[in-house]
Amino acid sequence: MKLYYSPGACSLSPHIVASELGIALELEKVDTKTKLTETGANFVEINPKGYVPALVLDNGDVLTEGPAIVQYLADLKPEANLIPANGTLPRYHLQSMLGYINSEIHKSYSPLFNPNTTAEARTEKSDYLRKRYALLETRLTNQDFLFGDQFTVADSYLFVVTNWANYLKLDLSGFPALMAFQKRVASRPGVQTAMRAEKLID
């Protein structure tokens, strides 16, 4: 399988999941501005949406959207317990969390990366993010991960998007449980392997 990625982008989440599972991926970096891959391919021909991640399966099929890709990867090795079994209530709870991170956290960061976003809009989005993080702070106060003691694909996604706060200088110091979660996830060998491969850490 081949993962099309951009270093540190949301594509890092499926990269982490694959690393945690011991699934070898061929990696191809994408320039998100030019839409060209590092081999010179037109990424839009691979994924017409034009953004990462895209996972090309061994049969040539292409999966897009991080929340779908991480579920596909985790289902390849159910014994690793990175995701509950399909069709169970815990699986739906996890999908609900992926949806929350996707729509309320991930997408709220997008305007902060845009240099044309006004100061007023930045403040509004930053305040909105803190409001949405407050729910997760409560959840993480008495447990290591979003669903208790077991690391899941949802934790991978939350870790990646929350890492963007450092780059954007978004102050999340008011969420000590969230900050402890970030350090906990960052210390995992599978996470470090993926981040080294993307040259995010030494």
108 within a domain of the structure (yes/no): yes
| CATH code, 127 | 1.20.1050.10
Cα dihedral 142→143→145→151 (10° resolution): 180
154 within a domain of the structure (yes/no): yes
Total domain count, the chain: 2
61 within a domain of the structure (yes/no): yes
In the chain, the amino acid numbered 118 is T
pTM of the model: 0.97
| CATH code, 33 | 3.40.30.10
Report how far residue 27's alpha carbon sits from residue 34's, in angstroms, rounded to the nearest whole number: 18
183 within a domain of the structure (yes/no): yes
CB within 8 Å of 89: residues ≥ 6 apart: none
Report how far residue 34's alpha carbon sits from residue 55's, in angstroms, rounded to the nearest whole number: 19
Examine the domain organization and report whether 72 and 100 are in the same domain.
no
Examine the domain organization and report whether 71 and 98 are in the same domain.
no
Examine the domain organization and report whether 58 and 93 are in the same domain.
no
202 within a domain of the structure (yes/no): no
Range list of β-strands (E), 44-135: 54-56, 62-64
Residue 179's φ and ψ, nearest 5 degrees, are: -65, -35
Examine the domain organization and report whether 122 and 62 are in the same domain.
no
Q: What angle do CA 64, 68, 70 make, to 5 degrees?
A: 105
Place of tokens 């399909």: 86
Examine the domain organization and report whether 31 and 52 are in the same domain.
yes
Q: How many CA atoms lie within 13 A of 79 on its CB side?
A: 1
152 within a domain of the structure (yes/no): yes
Examine the domain organization and report whether 95 and 175 are in the same domain.
yes
Examine the domain organization and report whether 15 and 42 are in the same domain.
yes
Report how far residue 129's alpha carbon sits from residue 162's, in angstroms, rounded to the nearest whole number: 10
Examine the domain organization and report whether 74 and 140 are in the same domain.
no
Query: pLDDT in tens for each of the 202 residues of the chain?
Result: 999 999 999 999 999 999 999 999 999 999 999 999 999 999 999 999 999 999 999 999 999 999 999 999 999 999 999 999 999 999 999 999 999 999 999 999 999 999 999 999 999 999 999 999 999 999 999 999 999 999 999 999 999 999 999 999 999 999 999 999 999 999 999 999 999 999 999 8
Q: Which domain holds residue 34?
A: 2-80+190-197
